[in-house]
């Protein structure tokens, strides 16, 4: 039991408070690709808005990522507000956009009604979908991360190296090119024509 399954019978007596902390392996649907996640806390309140049930809450937790520049282990803390709408029964075969708009109990038009069967509502699946959808596409250990040196591989946050790269135009661009031009004047088209 993850604490994310809400018995419909409990909702008949009014609102239902949810506060559950769920590890990734309990949240992950069977067959889904693993997410590098810590324990996710799902907090909020389910209320009955006939014929629907509306969950208003938040997800908090941590993604475990690698910095895109220096590969350092990086924790990305998240907090997502969620509004999930459920309805008992089978989903209509063709979703009618007009009927969706009649749902005026929540001011968030972006939520879709999720249909469920049986005696309980499972918050695990929408929580998982949210976490997959909102997983960061870019991760930096810090905004100013200097990354790895492409030549020697040193982590420039920890040990600046002496490698010259195209990222240092002052050191390489000016001195380097004029030095080459002096050694091989024929290589510079401007000098050779004049
Ligand atoms: Zn980094
Ligand atoms: Zn280097």
pLDDT 10s digits, 17-68: 999 999 999 999 999 999 999 999 999 999 999 899 999 999 999 999 999 9
What residues make up the domain containing 79?
5-133
Question: Do the beta carbons of residue 91 and residue 104 sit within 8 Å?
Answer: no
Residue with tokens 């002096």: 182
Give the Cα separation of 43 and 81 in Å (integer). Answer: 10
- Specify the number of domains making up the chain: 1
In this prediction the pTM is 0.71
Ligand 2 centroid distance, CA of 175 (Å): 19
Q: Please compute the mean of the pLDDT values over residues 91-107 and round it to a whole number.
A: 56
Ligand 2 centroid distance, CA of 64 (Å): 27
User: Does the pLDDT at position 177 exceed 60?
Assistant: no
Task: Name the helix (H) or strand (E) containing 101.
Answer: helix 97-101
Q: Give ion ligand 1 contacts, CB < 5 A.
A: 67, 69-70, 72, 141, 145
Assess if residue 166 is contained within a domain.
Answer: no
Provide the pairing of β-strand 113-116 with 73-88. Answer: parallel
Tokens for 29?
A: 């649907």
Ligand 1 centroid distance, CA of 159 (Å): 13
Question: Do the beta carbons of residue 74 and residue 141 sit within 8 Å?
Answer: yes
Assess if residue 147 is contained within a domain.
Answer: no
Q: What would the pLDDT profile of 68-95 be if each residue is shown by its tens digit? A: 999 999 999 999 999 999 999 988 776 5
- Of the candidates 52, 49, 50, 55, the one whose C-alpha atom is nearest the C-alpha of residue 5 is 55
Ligand 1 centroid distance, CA of 133 (Å): 23
Assess if residue 194 is contained within a domain.
Answer: no
Give the Cα separation of 147 and 157 in Å (integer). Answer: 7
Assess if residue 153 is contained within a domain.
Answer: no
Ligand nearest to the CA of 147: 1
Ligand 2 centroid distance, CA of 146 (Å): 12
Assess if residue 65 is contained within a domain.
Answer: yes
Q: How far is CA 78 from the centre of its chain?
A: 8
Ligand 2 centroid distance, CA of 178 (Å): 23
pLDDT band at 140 (very low <50, low <70, confident <90, very high): very high
Higher pLDDT pick, 182 / 113: 113
Give the Cα separation of 124 and 82 in Å (integer). Answer: 13
Ligand 1 centroid distance, CA of 157 (Å): 8
pLDDT band at 193 (very low <50, low <70, confident <90, very high): very low
Assess if residue 178 is contained within a domain.
Answer: no
**Length of the chain (residues):** 194
Assess if residue 128 is contained within a domain.
Answer: yes
Assess if residue 32 is contained within a domain.
Answer: yes
Ligand 2 centroid distance, CA of 179 (Å): 22
């Amino acid at each position: 039991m993850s604490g994310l399954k809400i018995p419909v019978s409990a909702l008949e007596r009014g609102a239902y408070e949810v506060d559950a902390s769920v590890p990734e392996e309990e949240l992950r649907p069977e067959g889904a690709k693993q997410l590098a996640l810590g324990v996710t806390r799902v907090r909020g309140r389910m209320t009955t808005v006939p014929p629907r049930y509306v969950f208003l809450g938040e997800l908090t937790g941590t993604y475990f990522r690698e910095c895109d520049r220096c590969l350092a282990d990086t924790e990305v803390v998240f907090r997502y507000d969620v509004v999930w709408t459920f309805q008992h029964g089978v989903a209509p075969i063709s979703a009618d956009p007009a009927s969706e708009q009649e749902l005026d109990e929540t001011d968030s038009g972006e939520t879709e009604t999720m249909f469920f069967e049986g005696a309980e509502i499972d918050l695990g699946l929408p929580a998982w979908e949210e976490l997959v959808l909102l997983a960061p596409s870019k991760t930096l250990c810090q905004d100013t991360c200097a990354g790895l040196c492409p030549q020697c591989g040193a982590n420039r946050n920890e040990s600046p190296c002496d490698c010259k790269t195209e990222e240092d135009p002052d050191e390489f661009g000016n001195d380097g090119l004029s030095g080459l031009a002096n050694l091989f004047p024929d290589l510079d088209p401007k000098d050779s024509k004049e």
